[in-house]
């Protein structure tokens, strides 16, 4: 796997607390669990009439997106605003970088305006890490997706959703289906599932879209979807970027749906109470049928709701909410 070598010392403080959130792989089970538990506390706030809490009042959060995104950027923006932070959205691909300014110069300029937290998305792997390495010690960075490397907040909202519906992780069987090769979501999901104690992780897809030696990540590849889904507790679908791969990695959309599309017949091969997840946006009729996407086992929309609570939890932990007293006073 061609992942950048982000190191633990960058992402955590000397005493093991969360500092930056750039990956799921560099965090302890304890810290990942802490995010899930705190996110649970934020869930109820979304149902209140006044959804804001004053936790990050006076803090400035910059959503620095070098790659277009609506859904992820919106949930980060809502999460920060519900914590009372001031949020600035910069779609940098349309701004200074096109004038030849380097990413770091853009970040230094923003840092001079006393930004407290950067949320970074880029098409290149390692951008969030690069930025984290060059900022002062009191500025925090969250990776909102970097190239093929990682999308750790998506993976954590998936973990939250699994935990919410299925409880303890240890004995679960989880299948990840689709384009594993290009997917930063899949990579972050696999690391998080492993750290949280899931032993049976399966990746399902055509041989052209599953990296060789994927077994070294602690997962089992299945090239036959029906076999891979047998008895699983959760089916994690991935979005197929079909516009980029037709004729090369997949023969045709119809052929792909026939072999790897999630249909009601295939959902029935999983455990009877299995949940169906998808990070969105979904390609109906390509990787998932409408009947499944809108069906009783689909938790695709709850995933979106959970994403706000999980991002609120990560932001408030990075911004000081993890002193050893754990809130006891």
Partner 1 sequence: MLKHSDIISLIDSMVLALRKRDGIEDSLIIGIHSGGAWIAERLHHLLENPHSIGMLDISFYRDDFTQIGLNPQVKSSDLPESIEGQNIILVDDVLHTGRTIRAAMNELFDYGRPNSICLAVLLDREGRQLPIQADICGMNIHLAPHQQVKLSYVDNEFELKNISTKPSDT
Interface segment toward partner 1; rule CB under 8 A; list 45-53, 221-229, 260-268, 303-311: 45-53
State the Cα–Cα distance between residues 318 and 17, nearest whole angstrom.
9
Contact between 99 and partner 1 by CB under 8 A: the answer reads no
Closest CB to partner 1 among residues 140, 184: 140
**In the complex, least distance from residue 19 CB atom to partner 1, rounded to whole angstroms:** 14
323 forms part of the interface with partner 1 (CB under 8 A): yes
Q: Min. distance of Cβ 324 from partner 1 in angstroms?
A: 7
Residue 44 binds partner 1 (CB under 8 A):
yes
**CA neighbours closer than 13 Å in the CB half-sphere of residue 82:** 26
Q: Residue 113 interacts with partner 1 (CB under 8 A)?
A: no
Buried b (16+ CB within 10 A) or exposed e, 14-42: eeebbbbbbbbbbbeeebbbbbbebbbeb
With CB under 8 A, what is the number of residues at the site for partner 1? 27
Nearer to partner 1, 162 or 317 (CB): 317
Residues 288-317 that bind partner 1 (CB under 8 A): 316-317
Let me know: does 91 contact 74? Beta carbons within 8 Å.
no
Q: What's the rounded Cα separation, in Å, for the pair 263 and 260?
A: 9
Q: 202: closest CA among 182, 178, 166?
A: 178
Contact residues for 124 (Cβ-Cβ < 8 A; gap 6+)? 66, 146, 147
Residue from 29, 52, 94, 227 that binds partner 1 (CB under 8 A)?
Answer: 52
Q: How many CB atoms are located within 10 Å of the residue 206 CB? A: 19
Compute CA 266 distance to the chain's CA centroid, rounded to the nearest angstrom: 25
Identify whether the C-beta of residue 198 lies closer than 8 Å to the C-beta of residue 174: yes
Does the footprint of partner 1 cover residue 269 (CB under 8 A)?
no
- Interaction between residue 187 and partner 1 (CB under 8 A): no
Q: Could you write out the DSSP letters of every residue in 224-244? A: SHHHHTTT-SEEEE----HHH
- Residue 251 as a binder of partner 1 (CB under 8 A): the answer is no
Write the CB contacts of 321 (distance below 8 Å, at least 6 apart in sequence).
38, 55, 327
Residues 1-40 that bind partner 1 (CB under 8 A): 34, 37-38, 40
According to the binding rule CB under 8 A, does residue 321 interact with partner 1? yes
Site mask for partner 1 (CB under 8 A), range 54-93, x = bound: xx--------------------------------------
Does 247 participate in binding partner 1 (rule CB under 8 A)? no
Q: Which residues bind partner 1 (CB under 8 A)?
A: 34, 37-38, 40-41, 44-45, 48-50, 52-55, 316-317, 319-329
């Amino acid at each position: 796997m061609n992942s950048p070598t982000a190191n633990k010392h960058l992402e955590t403080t000397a005493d093991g607390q969360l500092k930056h959130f750039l990956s799921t792989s560099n965090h302890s089970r304890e810290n990942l669990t802490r995010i899930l538990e705190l996110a649970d506390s934020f869930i109820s706030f979304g149902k209140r009439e006044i959804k804001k809490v004053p936790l990050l009042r006076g803090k400035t959060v910059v959503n620095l997106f070098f790659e277009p995104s609506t859904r992820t950027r919106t949930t980060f923006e809502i999460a920060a605003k519900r914590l009372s932070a001031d949020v600035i959205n910069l779609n940098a691909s349309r701004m200074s970088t096109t004038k030849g300014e380097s990413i770091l110069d853009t970040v230094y300029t923003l840092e001079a305006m006393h930004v407290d937290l950067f949320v970074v998305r880029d098409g290149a792997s390692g951008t969030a890490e690069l930025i984290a390495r060059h900022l002062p010690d009191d500025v925090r960075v969250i990776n909102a997706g970097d190239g093929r490397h990682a999308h750790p907040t998506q993976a954590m909202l998936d973990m939250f959703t699994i935990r919410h519906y299925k409880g303890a992780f240890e004995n679960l069987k989880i299948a990840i289906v689709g384009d594993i090769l290009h997917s930063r979501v899949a990579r972050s999901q696999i690391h998080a599932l492993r750290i949280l104690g899931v032993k049976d992780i399966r990746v399902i897809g055509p041989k052209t879209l599953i990296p060789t030696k994927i077994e070294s990540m602690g997962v089992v590849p299945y090239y036959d979807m029906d076999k891979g889904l047998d008895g699983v507790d959760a089916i994690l679908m991935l979005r197929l970027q079909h516009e980029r791969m037709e004729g090369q990695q997949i023969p045709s959309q119809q052929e792909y749906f026939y072999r790897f599309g999630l249909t009601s017949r295939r959902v029935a091969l999983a455990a009877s109470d299995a949940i169906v997840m998808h990070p969105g946006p979904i390609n109906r009729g390509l990787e998932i049928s409408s009947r499944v996407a809108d069906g009783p086992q689909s938790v695709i929309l709850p995933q979106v709701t959970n994403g706000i609570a999980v991002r609120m939890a990560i932001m408030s932990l990075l911004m000081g909410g993890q002193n050893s007293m754990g809130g006891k006073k």
